[in-house]
């Protein structure tokens, strides 16, 4: 587990990790994500600002990812405690008159939105800088594969042609073990892939297009992402089979 948590992160072990496509979480919605082995709740308030919190209510431990958004607050499903965007509890419905103690608050994590993706900061200290991807991006697809991130990384580094032939050459982005980019052969656009480790047996890859991103190209790229997942899981099964 430790190895999984640390080996993949550059330099000092801190950095931004892609946790989903911007389109995955509409305003007023909440979902569960995994950031470096940790279960977190990712939600957008009524104004569309993203928030990333520990997925556990301080009251009785309920997962906040099953909560519901009211205005710019996230409420817990169990007893309706309401937390504002900063994670501070503002209302306890069982005692509507009660002034809520400042001690009742969520553990929050830094979140950023860039390049059509949402990013969570993994590190002991608060985030520094923005995720190093271009600002714009159009969602293609996220895939979740039942293989560790390491196996997926090896596939993307060593045999990208199997999935992306005819489109262009997929290359690692310098200094980022989890970022890959493919410039379309006709030079009209770029496919960006961000790898998200989830557990020792699971990862996700988030794909966005920059520049030209018409429906046909998006559909084609989405299809290739499906191949990538199928092939990764098949290859992984074969290798596991060969081991036993």
Chain contacts with another protein (rule: CB under 8 A): 39, 55-56, 58-63, 66, 77-80, 92-96, 98, 103-104
Here the contacts of 41-50 (C-beta below 8 Å, separation 24 or greater) are 41/65, 41/67, 41/74, 42/111, 42/118, 42/120, 43/67, 43/69, 43/74, 44/69, 45/69, 45/71, 45/72, 45/73, 45/74, 45/85, 46/71, 46/72, 47/72, 49/85, 50/25, 50/111, 50/113, 50/118
Of 17 and 40, the one with the shorter C-beta distance to ligand FES is: 40
Binding partner of residue 98 among another protein, ligand FES, none, CB cut-off 5 to 8 Å per kind:
another protein
Nearest distance from C-beta of residue 24 to ligand FES, angstroms: 24
Query: Smallest gap, in angstroms, from Cβ of residue 184 to another protein?
Result: 43
Neighbour tally for 65: CB within 10 Å: 19
Contact footprint for ligand FES (CB under 6 A): 57, 59-60, 62, 76, 78-79, 81
Is the Cβ of residue 60 or residue 234 nearer to ligand FES in the bound state? 60
72 interface partner picked from another protein, ligand FES, none, CB below 5 to 8 A per type: none
By C-beta, is 30 or 167 nearer to another protein?
30
Nearer to another protein, 67 or 160 (CB): 67
Question: Rounded CA gap, 163 and 85, in Å?
Answer: 41
Residue with structure tokens 């009209």?
188
CB 25 within 8 A of CB 50: yes
What minimum distance in Å lies between the beta carbon of 77 and ligand FES? 7
């Amino acid at each position: 587990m430790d190895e999984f948590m640390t080996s993949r992160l550059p330099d000092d072990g801190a950095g931004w990790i892609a946790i989903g496509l911007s389109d995955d979480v509409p305003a007023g919605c909440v979902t569960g994500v995994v950031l470096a082995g940790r279960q977190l709740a990712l939600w957008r308030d009524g104004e569309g600002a993203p928030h990333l919190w520990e997925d556990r209510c301080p009251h009785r431990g309920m997962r906040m990812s099953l909560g519901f958004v009211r205005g710019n607050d996230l409420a817990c499903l169990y007893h309706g405690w309401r937390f504002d965007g900063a994670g501070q509890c503002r209302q306890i419905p069982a005692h509507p008159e009660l002034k809520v103690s400042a001690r009742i608050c969520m553990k929050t994590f830094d979140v950023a939105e860039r390049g059509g993706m949402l990013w969570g900061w993994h590190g002991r200290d608060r985030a520094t800088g923005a995720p190093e991807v271009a600002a714009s991006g159009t969602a293609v697809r996220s895939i979740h594969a039942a293989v560790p991130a390491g196996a997926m990384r090896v596939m993307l580094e060593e045999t990208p042609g199997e999935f992306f032939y005819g489109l262009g050459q997929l290359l690692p982005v310098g200094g980022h073990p989890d970022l890959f980019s493919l410039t379309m052969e006709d030079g009209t656009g770029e496919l960006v892939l961000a790898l998200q480790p989830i557990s020792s047996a699971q990862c996700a890859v988030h794909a966005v297009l920059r520049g030209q991103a018409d429906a046909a190209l998006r559909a084609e790229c989405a299809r290739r992402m499906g191949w990538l997942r199928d092939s990764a899981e098949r290859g992984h099964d074969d290798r596991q089979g060969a081991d036993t």
